[in-house]
Every structure is written in structure tokens, then in C-alpha cells.
Structure 1
């Protein structure tokens, strides 16, 4: 058997003395051992940065109900980033990045010795460091480590740490960590965020040229910023494309097409579609994505609608608007526009939906709902629209309509549709005053009205209290739900079940009146912004001095609330709810029903169709020019009209309450006064003292004419009631009664011809 030949030493070593040969062999072995240890064992002495395994923190997204982006918040370091798996990074971007940074990434073990040798050679030639020869693994270590000075020890530590990473992580893990940590400039970290920022598209839709452009940015994000220095960015892109052609043998024609592709960056615009909501939620965010009930497309469109309307009405001194859209069955907030111009300096950052403002007439529907539910009224009920005064803790107060005209006897149907003030005040008084109305609104989720009911008085129905758009919109949604309150929701929940809504007579009659365009034509015209091509209940409101402008309404599915005005509380110029907030409401409702068939409420059972005379509120057997067709509950049908309701000439006979109105501005061709000073109809109205005020204290001042001793006595029944007092002198002249005051506590009595009476106590002091 042939023995294996012995290892032959080099000639120069065989000629040396034996002990020298032994030393050389030992030195070589030690060198090999050191090299082996340095390459395979020493790296384990250098810990891997934790960030490589954990990855950079994601910035939080605010998402709509379909997962579309509403807002993207920056991290504490002001970067935006979204983690992405390597499988989702386009092959073109991977090849472009490797061609630019580390073409032998898949061949080396963390250190590229050929590149290192080239870097050393170039540095000697240039007498300075011109290339670091860092591999992608080394760059990943550097990015994930604390910043350190650029020295040789630092470079050695990065190389050994990179070896450690290579021995414990796969190439895919390393490349994924590298991509997710890359700074692409403009505070965008990672390719997913970079694609969104620069091109406004997902990674999967990037072209070869766009991938090459992104691959070139991490080398010098500031110097190569395509927004500031597009020439440098394109030059770097084209260099990378040439490298890809060499390294990956890409077709020449594809490279040339990519080079010829123009640089098309996404225009910078609002990155936050719900800025006010985002600002509110961010303070409570737990650094995780938030899925809301909003619709990104609807939010975008309504912001544009509000912005356009403000521009149209700029000469009317309107600076701000707000919109809230609710889904009735779930309470989901579908759109929330605090103000349409968030970045403007004139209070654009204030969320107008949460500021309590005077709602004007927008609370009248709740007044009539109370009258239907608690006072037995219906849309057919007649209410006098005549000059009216009421007394409260602040004294006597007179109310007027918007146009300072009066219509005499009107049905609630027409009074609500035309937004008449005096019938609303009278209806609230008949239904119990402001206290039950506030209680009703609280049941609908309104918390803004915190004062004692006496503070608001009967003017509550006209806007004497302040309420937020958020609360008022949800209160209207409660009307659409036939009285069912659901708290509004900004966050999606799989446990929520749509609410089944069954029509109730009072709510249905209210919605039917608010949706009747013919009923409001006398006040707003036949083709106002309140008219829609489908049934929609709608009500406007304008506060005193034109400081607030509202339009709210609903269909069976959606409720919309709109406010227009100025957050600095300066008045608008001659704008009503129809011309200010109305156009925004109109456009919003049309937008909501673009792809959603409009729905209306089912008619409640037990409703009877009848013809109601618009001046008497009574039924007529058949329709005529003075009647209107109504659907009313069978148990509240008005009486049939009688001969005694009209005189021999067919005029409607009115009681004496209408005498002043009929004399001054009433239609005498249609109405006449009853000769009965105390008709039975009066017994349904309480005998009320308007002056003196309840719990009032009067001071006799010598600086006033007559020392302020004369106190005018007023009632709802002037000329038909008798005043008296056991301690005060009362004189009557031309139907007006006056008490002559003296110091002390006095009781004043009022009695009518039917024997009804009421009293009021006053206190008089002398200065």
C-alpha cells in the first residue's frame, strides 16, 4: 500500500535551519488562528443593536372606516414611518438599492474585502477618505447604533458587529431592517413612506425610474432632495440606472426609457383630512393606529364644499364654517369638518363643532315636539301670530318675527315651516316653558344648556341658550330616530348593531312638516337651498345680530348639521340660514346620496288623511283654496268646521285677541272680529299677568319722572280683564291700567268676565 506523500515545504524554508522552520510554522498557525478568531469568534463580543431586531417605531395613522388614511402623525423625532416586509418591496427598488450601495450583498459575509481594498487604495491616492466601502450590513449597524465619530476604531467595531449580524440573521432579515431604517429625506423613513411622500402612491405602483430615484436619496437626503435640487436627484437616478444595466443586465431600451421619464413629484398639500379630530385624538393616542367611523372621500369633499361657500360669501364677512354628518342607525360620525381652512391664522385651528353658539330658530322643532307630546297639539293646531309679550324674572319681554310682520291665525304646520317666532314662543309657553324643553334636550344628549331654565326664558326656542353643533346635530338625529338617543361614535366597533327605527306619530308629523317645501314657500320661496330632489327634513337658524348661521336636517339614513359664522364673534352681513349655511347643507345632502338611494320614514299606523282649514285648524269635508291636506293621528283629529266659524260673507270670525292685529295689518277681506268679549275659546288660554313681573322689586327714585310711582299693568287680555289691589290705587284710561306705587308689600289681582282670576305680589322700596 502506497503511503501518502508528506507535505512539502517551500524551497526557501527547507534550506533554513530546522528551528527557524519550526518558528515560521508556528507563526503561520497563530496567524491563521487569529484570523479565524477575528472573523468567526471575535464578532460575538460586539452586541447587535436592539433596533435591528425591533425595527423603527411606526408613526400613528388615523384611518377611516375603510382603512384609508385621514391623518399621519409624526413620531417624537418628527419622522413618519410605516414598517414594510421585504416581500412587499418591489424587485426594481431592491436591485436599484443594491446596485447603488452593495452589489455583492448576497456574496459577502458582512465585510466586502474587495471594496475595502479599493477604498484604501483610493484614499491613499486622494490623501483623504473618499469612500467608506460599507456594506449594507455595516450601514444597517451604523444606522441602528448611537451616533459616533468617524474613526478607525469605530469602523472596526461596525465591521465586527456586521459579522455578528451576518452570522445570526438571514440576508432577507438584514435587507428588511436596512430598508425600514433608511432616511429618504423630508422626514420620511422607509420606502413605504417615501413612496407616499414623493409620489403619492403605493410601492407596488412605482416605475423603474421612481425606484432608482428613491434608491439614490439615502446617500445624501438633503443634497439630493428632489424637491429642492431635482437636477442632482435625477443625475443620481440616472447613474443608478446605468449601474443596474451593468450589474443586472437590464435591457438597454428599458434603461433609456427610465432615464427619459420626467420627474413627477406629488404636489405638497394637506396631509390631514380631519385635522381637528386628529388633534383631539392624538392627545389620547396610545401610539397605535386609530380606525374611525369617518369617510376619507366624504371628509375631503365636504371640506372643499365648505371652503368654496366661504369664498363665495367672503363679501358678507364670513370666515368659518363647520359640518357634522351622522349615520342615524348607528350614531357613526361620517364627516367632521371643524373649519375648512385649518392652516389659516384666523382661528382655523379652532374646532367650531365644539364651540357653544346661539342656535337661533334651530331649536324650534324641539319646541313643537314638546307641544305635540305634552300639550296635545298637532300640525293642524292654530296659534295666534300677533304682537305678544310675556313676563319672566327679567320683566316684560316682547317678541317679534324675523321680518317684523304678523300673520294672525296660523297652523303649527305653517308656523314651523316658515320659522315664525311668536307661534314658537306661544307653543313653548303652552307646553310648560323652558324647563321641560331643557329636560327633553338633555335626554337627546345636549349638555351645553347648564343655566337655570329661568335664565333662558321662553326665548330658548329662539336661541337664548348656546349649544354646540355636535350636540345639536345628534339631537336632530334623535328626531330622525323617532326619539331614540344614541351617543355619536368616532370609532368603529364590530359589536355595534344598526338600530331599527319605527315611526312614531309626533316625530313623523314633525319630520313631515320640516320636509314640506310648499309649507315654507311663503317664507323662503319655492326654490330655496332647502329644497332637495328627495324628502329631507330641514330647519335653519340665525342668531341675534347675525353672529351664527345654522342649517340642520335629516333623511331616514343621515343627519347633517352645518354652522357658518365667525369664531371671533363678529357679525356677518345680512346672511340668513338659507343663504349662509343652506348651500353647504344642500350640497352635503346631495353628496351623501350620490351612491346611496334616499330613504324616508314609514307612515305610522292610525294616521287619517284630512283637509284642514289654515285659519281655523278645523276639518273640511273637501279641499278648497283655504285648506291643506294633512295626515293626523286618529285620536287627535280636530273638529269639523261649523257655520259659526264664518260670518255671512264667508269671513273667518276671530276672537278679540286679534283686534289690534286686524286693525293694523290683518286681511279684513278674509277675517272679521267676534262681538263676544269672552268667547269659549278663551277658556283654553290661561289668564296671565305680564306686568308686574313675578318676584319683582320696585324702587321709588326721586330722579325719575313722578318718582317712578306709575307701574303699567299688562295682561294677555287687554280691555277684557279687571285689575284691583287692596293697598294700591289703580286707574284705567283708554283700556290701559296703571298702579300708583307706595312703599311696602302689595298684592295685585286680575279677574276676567268669566270669573277666572290670578294675583301677583310685589315689593316697593323708597331710595
Structure 2
């Protein structure tokens, strides 16, 4: 009718009118189509990125933009995110997000902004890959890498996890694992060594690294976050976090991500050395190093090499996981839109499980675990067996040993002397002598750690070698009695240093805690060990204690002083002042 109307008014000639009628009769209108619902957040993110490129760059783009998304992978990732979220909803999980990156091309393969875009009760229209949340422990690998780069630690260094750190910082499980290799401390995600490491590196250095990685714009000074930077004080987005992890998965180079065909990436920036990035990858892909915090055969273990790091913010508000194989890097976040705490849902129990399901699907051809996909060690470095407690060269007496990689010339040369095998008189449990009958001699392994580990060693039930030799004579040992000769070295000057409480600390009593349970831990380093020391409170003897020399003191309001002395001597440790309110 429109053509007839135009022809009647002379707008179209008869020939034009006839040509138009024939063309319309054969015109095929394509289906309008519909964008996949599972990719709405990805499309909106791409639109946002393109609109921010500037008019000149946008005009050079083709009319049809081919994204790097793999629609089949996108659908699978969306489905896994949605089904996983349903399983966690009863425990307070309100939404989840997931990103899959191809490590070879740096292309975005899947981008899941929420469990369901149209789920109003979950605020599903929000793209949670771009929402800033507390990172928990997810930033620790970068601090370990920086410490390795600067020589603050090496593969055989020992990090102490003995007691609460500055400001009362403790581990998520409130357990202390003692002396740890960097591999073990990172794989177990220990908070106390992380805070100490940041303190050693310096706040500004750690914060500067996060800025270089694109995790912050640096608007706030480092002191705004304090040492909490090491354990989740800096809020980040999943998009920023996965992009930063490309530096570790990419041999230390930060490259950016590719969203569409023809997109050029900026020149790679060297953040870490190749050797450092490979060490961190080896640490995070070692299931044995995760013990005892994370069990074997769980959400962080695969049949092919995968490096995994989880993070959980305070009170379980956020749960994170980032993992990478030889092909893909996958990151996930789980939490609640209203910032409500979840019910004991950690990064290991949620996001790591989701990431594992995705990676297992992407590596179906390696599910049997028979292919060699191991991560490469630093080029030109050599392996050495080291003791997990000392970082020294392992001996047959060491019960936990790791294979660490070292730059040529940096391998440990001293054997571990902490693990000791001693001949024991089985009748007394004391050191055997030449007079001990051979049938009564038994060789046992003991642990002799430096004095600062005394309290931890006792709590961990690691046996110390006896400090006396057996003087057993047949018929002379009565019930409950022993004959011994002391072997303590009385010639060395004994040094005493109180490690708890801190000097000038101010304590507030909890009114809801019964008075008998309101106590303060008293710990001291005694070097070399002695049989007994005496704790003094306010100048008066309080308690005589043996190894490991710990005691508890009931809180009493007021100002108090604590000191440790050797029995029957005048000298002692420096006095520590405490105020109880």
C-alpha cells in the first residue's frame, strides 16, 4: 500500500514501482534473534568497555563485533554457577560470579555476573564481577612474590606462626602451626606470617604493588588500610583480581584481557621475575603443602596440576577462589548482595568447589590424570630436599620433607640438626649409656627447636630429647622413681625474654566472662633451656614452672608488672607492664 500511495502521487515511476514490488516479494527478513540470557552481563560489560574507548577508536570498529566468549562454555559456567548457588542459599549465599580466561590468548571465555540476571530477590541484574568486596586471603600470593623478589625470604626461609600478631591478628582457625616454609605458610593461608611479611616489606611497598597490579587506584594512603592489607583490608572486584592473577599465571608479566576479535592488548608489563612467578605457582599447586589446614582430595585438588588460592573475608561475608591450570584461569566470588554474613561458607567450601567444577569440565581430556601437565620450575634452578621445620637439608630423621627449587649456589648446605635420633634406655625413657644393656636400648627421634618455639613445641606434642642420662641399676628403681645424671649445660649464660604479654598493653575485661576464666597467657623464651623458672607478678613470686615455662594469670584490675627469674638468683628478664581495666 505504501508503494501504491507513492506511485499515485508521482514519487515513484511505473518502472520503479514495479521493481520495488518484485524486490519486496523476494525479500527475506532475518529472525530478530535474542541475546543469550546467560551472557547479558558479558554483553553489557563489553558495551561499557567499547563506549569508554573514545569516539575515534569506536569509529574504527566493524559494525559486527565478534566477542571472544565461547557460548557453550558460557552456558555451562552459568549453569554451574546457578546450581551451586542453589545448594548454598540455605546457608546465606545470596549470589555468585565467575570469570574464565584463556591463558594462551588472554581472551575472556566466560563471564557470569550473577546466578540469574532476572532473579529480583537476589539482585541478579547487578554484575558482581565488578562489585568491590573484601578480598580476604586472596591477595597473599602477591605479597609472597614481592618478598621473594626483594630477597626478604627464600625457598628455605622459615616464617613463624606462633602466636597472635600485631593488633591481635590470628589465623582463621585460631591454630598456630609453628615454623613454616614459605611454601607451607602460603598454601595454608596463614594470617600471622602474612601480616609479619607485610610489616617486614613495608606498608607502602605492599600497597604500591597492589596499585601496579591494578587492584587499587591509590586514592587512599597505605596507612588507611594498615597491616590489614595482607588479610583482606583492601576491597577488590573479581574482574581486577583475575586480571592481577594473570601476572602469576603468566610468568610474571601483566598483559590485560581480550574481549573481541581484533582487540590489541597493551605491551606486557613485568611485575615479577619468571622465577618468582613459577615458585608461587608451584607453592599453590602442591596439595601436600596445604596440610593440615586443607584436606587432601578436596575442592583444591585435581588430577592434573592446578594452582589454587582461596580467600574468606571477616564473618564469612565474601568467599573467593582463583585457580589456574596450563590452559585456563578461573576466578569465582560468592556472597550476599546485602553484605550479610554467610553461615560458615568459606572460599574453600564454595568458590573453590565452583571453580573446580568448571576446570574439570574444561579439562575433560585430562580427567584420567595420565597426561604430563606439570607446571615448570624456574629455568636453570636445582631441586633439593629440605626439612619442613628448619629449611635445612633434610636428613633421614626429618619426618616432613619438601622438594624446593634453588638458584645455583643458593641450595642449603647445612643438615637439619633439629630432628635428632638418640639412643634411649627404654626402662627409664632417658638417654642410654654404655652401661645400658643392649636389649634395653631403643633409638627414637626427637625434636630440639630453638627456645622461642618452646611453648608451641609443647602444645604440638613434639618430643624433646631427654636432658638427663639413665643411671638405672637393677633392683634400685622403685615405683615412680628414676636415677638420673643431669646433662644440662650450666656454663652458658641464660637469657630470658617475655613474649606474652606485650609491654605496656592495656587489657579490657569481658564482663560476660566468668572471673575464673578471665586469664592472661604468660610465655617466655629461655635460652638455653633450664629445668625451671619463676614467674614474678608485682615483684612477688607467682608460679614456678618447668619447660615450656608457660603459665596463666587471672586478670585483676590495676597496673601490674611481670618478670621471669631463675630460681635462687637475682637477675631476670626485663619487666613488662600491663594495665587491666
Establish whether TM, by shorter chain, passes 0.5: yes
Whole-angstrom distance in 1 between the partners of 2:406 and 2:224: 35
Task: Indicate whether 1:534 and 2:304 are aligned.
Answer: yes
Task: Indicate whether 1:668 and 2:444 are aligned.
Answer: no
Whole-angstrom distance in 2 between the partners of 1:481 and 1:604: 13
8 Å contact kept, 2:447–2:462 = no
Aligned to 1:358: 134
Q: 1:716 to 1:434 in 2, by over 3 A?
A: farther
Aligned to 1:545: 315
What's the offset of the Cα at 1:692?
5.4
What's the offset of the Cα at 1:540?
0.8
What's the offset of the Cα at 1:433?
3.3
Aligned to 1:428: 198
More strand as a share of residues: 2
Task: Indicate whether 1:442 and 2:237 are aligned.
Answer: no
Q: 1:372 to 1:623 in 2, by over 3 A?
A: farther
8 Å contact kept, 2:108–2:258 = yes
Alignment of 1:59-458 (within 5 A): 138-139=1-2, 141=3, 157-160=5-8, 164=12, 166-168=14-16, 171=19, 174-176=21-23, 191-193=29-31, 196=33, 271-282=36-47, 288-345=63-120, 346-390=122-166, 397-430=167-200, 432-447=201-216, 450-458=219-227
**RMSD across aligned C-alpha pairs, in angstroms?**
4.4
Whole-angstrom distance in 1 between the partners of 2:322 and 2:539: 49
Whole-angstrom distance in 2 between the partners of 1:602 and 1:170: 72
Alignment of 1:342-741 (within 5 A): 342-345=117-120, 346-390=122-166, 397-430=167-200, 432-447=201-216, 450-493=219-262, 504-594=274-364, 599-620=373-394, 625-643=399-417, 646=420, 648=422, 650-663=445-458, 665-669=459-463
Q: What SS class does the counterpart of residue 174 from structure 2 fall into?
A: coil
Aligned to 1:62: none
Q: 1:328 to 1:361 in 2, by over 3 A?
A: same
What's the offset of the Cα at 1:606?
2.8
Q: What SS class does the counterpart of residue 309 from structure 1 fall into?
A: helix
**Aligned pairs, how many?**
473
Instruction: Indicate the larger mover: 590-599 or 635-644.
Output: 590-599
Instruction: Indicate the larger mover: 530-539 or 452-461.
Output: 452-461
Q: 1:322 to 1:159 in 2, by over 3 A?
A: same
8 Å contact kept, 1:503–1:603 = no
Q: What SS class does the counterpart of residue 83 from structure 2 fall into?
A: helix
Q: 1:368 to 1:469 in 2, by over 3 A?
A: same
Whole-angstrom distance in 2 between the partners of 1:676 and 1:282: 75
What's the offset of the Cα at 1:355?
0.9
Whole-angstrom distance in 2 between the partners of 1:399 and 1:323: 30
**Rg: which structure is higher?**
1
What's the offset of the Cα at 1:497?
9.9
For normalisation by structure 1, the TM-score amounts to 0.54
Q: What SS class does the counterpart of residue 539 from structure 1 fall into?
A: strand
Whole-angstrom distance in 1 between the partners of 2:266 and 2:13: 51
- Residues 319-355 of structure 1: per-residue CA shift (max 9 Å, x gap): 2111112233443222211112001113111111111
Q: 1:448 to 1:564 in 2, by over 3 A?
A: farther
Whole-angstrom distance in 2 between the partners of 1:469 and 1:525: 26
Aligned to 2:471: none
Q: What SS class does the counterpart of residue 299 from structure 1 fall into?
A: helix
Q: What SS class does the counterpart of residue 564 from structure 1 fall into?
A: strand
What's the offset of the Cα at 1:624?
5.4
What's the offset of the Cα at 1:595?
6.5
For normalisation by structure 2, the TM-score amounts to 0.70
8 Å contact kept, 1:445–1:487 = no
Q: What SS class does the counterpart of residue 489 from structure 1 fall into?
A: coil
Whole-angstrom distance in 2 between the partners of 1:594 and 1:644: 45
Aligned to 2:478: none
What's the offset of the Cα at 1:579?
1.6
More helix as a share of residues: 1
8 Å contact kept, 2:274–2:378 = yes
- Residues 382-430 of structure 1: per-residue CA shift (max 9 Å, x gap): 222211332xxxxxx1122222122222222222212222222223223
Q: What SS class does the counterpart of residue 445 from structure 1 fall into?
A: coil
- Residues 546-566 of structure 1: per-residue CA shift (max 9 Å, x gap): 110011021233211100111
8 Å contact kept, 1:329–1:499 = no
Q: 1:650 to 1:718 in 2, by over 3 A?
A: closer
8 Å contact kept, 1:690–1:716 = no
Whole-angstrom distance in 1 between the partners of 2:334 and 2:489: 49
What's the offset of the Cα at 1:365?
1.0
Q: What SS class does the counterpart of residue 326 from structure 2 fall into?
A: coil
Structure 2 residue runs of 5 or longer lacking an equivalent are: 52-57, 423-443, 468-486, 507-520, 528-536, 543-550, 560-573, 575-581
- Residues 40-71 of structure 1: per-residue CA shift (max 9 Å, x gap): xxxxxxxxxxxxxxxxxxxxxxxxxxxxxxxx
Q: 1:422 to 1:644 in 2, by over 3 A?
A: closer
Whole-angstrom distance in 1 between the partners of 2:145 and 2:502: 26
